[in-house]
Chains A and B, each alone.
Chain A
Amino acid sequence: MALTTYVEAIRQGIWEEMEKDERVFVLGEDVGIYGGAFKVTAGMLEKFGEWRIIDTPISESAIVGAAIGAALMGMRPIAEMQFADFISCAFDQITNFAAKCRYRWGAGVPIVIRGPSGGGVHGGPFHSQNPEMHYVHTPGLKVVCPATAYDAKGLIKAAIRDPDPVIYFEHKFLYRRVKEELPSEDFVVPIGKAAVRRQGSDISVITYGAMLYLALDAAKELEKEGIDLEVVDLRSLLPFDKETVLESVKKTNKVILLHEDTRIGGFAGELAAIIADEAFEYLDGPVRRITAPDTPVPYSPPLEDFFLPKVSDIVRVARELYAY
């Protein structure tokens, strides 16, 4: 069976949902004739036509606003942000309109806002960001960050079917670098469920997105010296799978919180607080964070390499924690 890339998995997920449900449509910049800057919507214009794959003006706020309006009328829009960085232009529509409709007046806004986030491709400050926490801090939204092709497909389908607004961050570094065999039958990955990617007994590494692969590489390296990492892939940040995180921490008694996003106000801080609140008695060492530093994402390779967390960071911190 052929291997499916992460980017193809997203494309398949959207395609299948559009075939199944005529309320589903895509709007965004260059999604039509060009097939999207990363080709997520390649071939869809030909298949579904210009009223379901809609090329829009460069107007992120209006893209999201129009998605909201269409969703209120019963449609299931998927709004593409050409880069997740550009989602800031639509911040107001997302956080003030979409996120609050159900709470204020009982109207669901079943939209998906998706776009490529993350660094590692020397995209510089405006094509590399991880903006998830702005939305994780907004009640009413759901936020997912798939790391595998299976999850990319399963989560986009879950997001499209979800009755509430879902922000779907796809990691551009993974688009063509990760691939796997996917089941031929229909499947979804439930929003809010983590996956334990590696069972281990010494230290839990809680992570999401592209950092998953660094954690797995570090685990392989540490295995040689007898340090056994457990790796938890959150997959969803809002809601997130607290039970799986706490279960893992209670098992290993030591935890590293790893993300590509910057440090202050990053998801690791929230996890650390929850672990301190609810699993303090189980801890045999300090809760450690590995994150990007609090700077914009720099462009030049030496700068960006410095910025991004590395396998060696995980190995070093794990050794320190192991020695506790």
Chain B
Amino acid sequence: MNVKAINPHHAAREGTQPADLLPKKTLSDMLYYMKQVRELEFRIERKLYRQGKIVGGVYVGRGQEAIAVGACLQLREDDVVCPSHRDMGAFLIRGMSLRTILGQYMARKTGATRGRDGNMHMGDLKLNLIPFVSMLGDNVPVATGVGLSFKMRGQDRVALCFFGDGATSRGDWHEGINMAAVFKVPVVFICNNNQYAYSTPLERQMAVENVADRAVAYGLPGEIVDGNDILAVWDATNRAIERARAGDGPSLIECKTFRMTGHSAHDDAGYVPPELFEFWEEKDPIRRFERFLTQRGIASAADIEEIQKRINREIDEAIQIAEKDPFPEPEDCLRDVYYEGE
């Protein structure tokens, strides 16, 4: 694979940048959440994991922060998100607390699944967050059903469904996308195309050039955006959400990005040519957005520094609390397999 083949710009839609239209609060939220995700995952992967405090695997979305953040920031409270495993921004934006997330990674009773499940397998119906399962792409039919329920009841709600490029090889993905298109459900399907599924590069995953090309086969619009440009992600998602709300059905958005780590914390990604990391490092979504904000005079270097300090402080505090949170009681293993009453 050569660098040119994965350059997002030769395929990305050169759309109008909506940044001038976005309120300053939105722009500052974009920066805050991207930086919060980066810092939180840095602590989890590079600190807590290496200190032996994390139970099980760690999968981060370094370099992909713009996708979940750019897409989820524009949702209404009653909209639904079905994230995948590199979409930490979705959890934070929907309001899951740092303590709950850290508790999840440390297998505590206070984690999102009270120790029943690990890492990114987090969900909460009160936050309209449906957790994914390790069988990637399974959340696509589920999101279709979420959208179907909105349509059946005439509710003005949408669902965002996230997955990676690898998940698009699974049958569930194709069944779910097809059914969504047939029923014209209000769902926006968002692909984090980070070029690798574990160690398998894209060209071993599919013979078409773009995930978005697959949309044609199912009769829904497929759009390619530069996934490292949060404004482009926002813009494409915004249009897809409007389309869904208008009753015109689902869309597929392919966000071209790159996985700046191994598959998981134990994977050194030795199979990825170093020049790819170098190429994509230049496109880092956070630094790029910071440049945009400073060049436009929307934020100063000092403002950005201040945000980073605030994030560090919040995460420091949450880690201190989470580390003291209890593990579940062993007998809790037997509970909640079935309904046990309110």
Closest to B157 in A: A73
Q: How far is the CA of A107 from the CA of B127 in the complex (A)?
A: 12
Count of A-B contacts judged by CB separation below 8 Å: 133
Interface centre among A52, A56, A69 (most CB of B within 10 A): A69
Measured CB to CB, the residues of A under 8 A from B are: 25, 51-52, 54, 56-57, 59, 61-75, 77, 92-93, 96-97, 100, 102-108, 139-140, 142, 162-164
Closest to A22 in B: B153
Chain B residues within 8 Å of A108, by CB: 339
Q: Mark B139-153, 1 if CB is under 8 A from A, else 0.
A: 011111111111110
Q: A107-B123, A139-B337 are in contact. Are A59 and B117 (CB under 8 A)?
A: no
Chain A residues within 8 Å of B150, by CB: 73
Contact B146 A65 (CB under 8 A): no
Q: A66-B142, A70-B149 are in contact. Are A57 and B172 (CB under 8 A)?
A: no
Q: A25-B152, A73-B150 are in contact. Are A105 and B178 (CB under 8 A)?
A: no
Q: Is the C-beta of B122 less than 8 angstroms from some C-beta in chain A?
A: yes
Contact B179 A56 (CB under 8 A): yes
Other A-B pairs, 16, CB within 8 Å; known A61-B172, A69-B141, A103-B337: A25-B152, A51-B152, A52-B152, A54-B148, A62-B141, A65-B141, A66-B144, A69-B149, A73-B146, A73-B149, A73-B150, A97-B133, A105-B113, A105-B117, A139-B337, A164-B338
Q: A25-B152, A69-B142, A103-B116 are in contact. Are A92 and B135 (CB under 8 A)?
A: yes
Nearest chain A CB to B191 CB, angstrom units: 18
Contact A62 B143 (CB under 8 A): no
Q: A92-B138, A105-B112 are in contact. Are A62 and B146 (CB under 8 A)?
A: no
Chain B residues within 8 Å of A25, by CB: 152
Chain A residues within 8 Å of B122, by CB: 105
Q: Is the C-beta of B89 less than 8 angstroms from some C-beta in chain A?
A: no
Chain A residues within 8 Å of B112, by CB: 105
Contact A93 B336 (CB under 8 A): no
Chain B residues within 8 Å of A74, by CB: 149
Contact A97 B142 (CB under 8 A): yes
Contact A72 B142 (CB under 8 A): yes
Q: How far is the CA of A56 from the CA of B185 in the complex (A)?
A: 13
Chain B residues within 8 Å of A66, by CB: 141-142, 144-145, 148, 176, 179
Q: A93-B141, A97-B138 are in contact. Are A102 and B172 (CB under 8 A)?
A: no
Name B168-191 residues within 8 Å CB distance of A.
171-172, 175-176, 178-179, 182-183
Interface centre among B138, B143, B145, B149 (most CB of A within 10 A): B145
Contact of A96 among B138, B151, B152, B171 (CB under 8 A): B138
Q: How far is the CA of A59 from the CA of B121 in the complex (A)?
A: 25
Q: A25-B152, A97-B138, A163-B339 are in contact. Are A105 and B124 (CB under 8 A)?
A: yes
Chain A residues within 8 Å of B158, by CB: none
Contact of A57 among B121, B133, B179 (CB under 8 A): B179
Q: A68-B145, A69-B141, A75-B152 are in contact. Are A140 and B124 (CB under 8 A)?
A: no
Interface centre among A63, A65, A97, A140 (most CB of B within 10 A): A65
Chain A residues within 8 Å of B227, by CB: none
Nearest chain B CB to A33 CB, angstrom units: 15
Q: Is the C-beta of B71 less than 8 angstroms from some C-beta in chain A?
A: no
Q: Is the C-beta of B216 less than 8 angstroms from some C-beta in chain A?
A: no
Chain B residues within 8 Å of A162, by CB: 339
Q: How far is the CA of A324 from the CA of B122 in the complex (A)?
A: 58
Chain A residues within 8 Å of B338, by CB: 102, 140, 142, 163-164
A-B contact pairs, 25 of them (CB 8 A): A56-B179, A56-B182, A57-B178, A59-B179, A61-B141, A61-B176, A62-B176, A62-B179, A64-B141, A65-B142, A66-B142, A69-B148, A69-B149, A70-B146, A71-B145, A73-B146, A77-B145, A93-B141, A93-B172, A97-B142, A105-B123, A105-B125, A105-B131, A108-B339, A162-B339
Q: Is the C-beta of B286 less than 8 angstroms from some C-beta in chain A?
A: no
Q: How far is the CA of A139 from the CA of B334 in the complex (A)?
A: 11
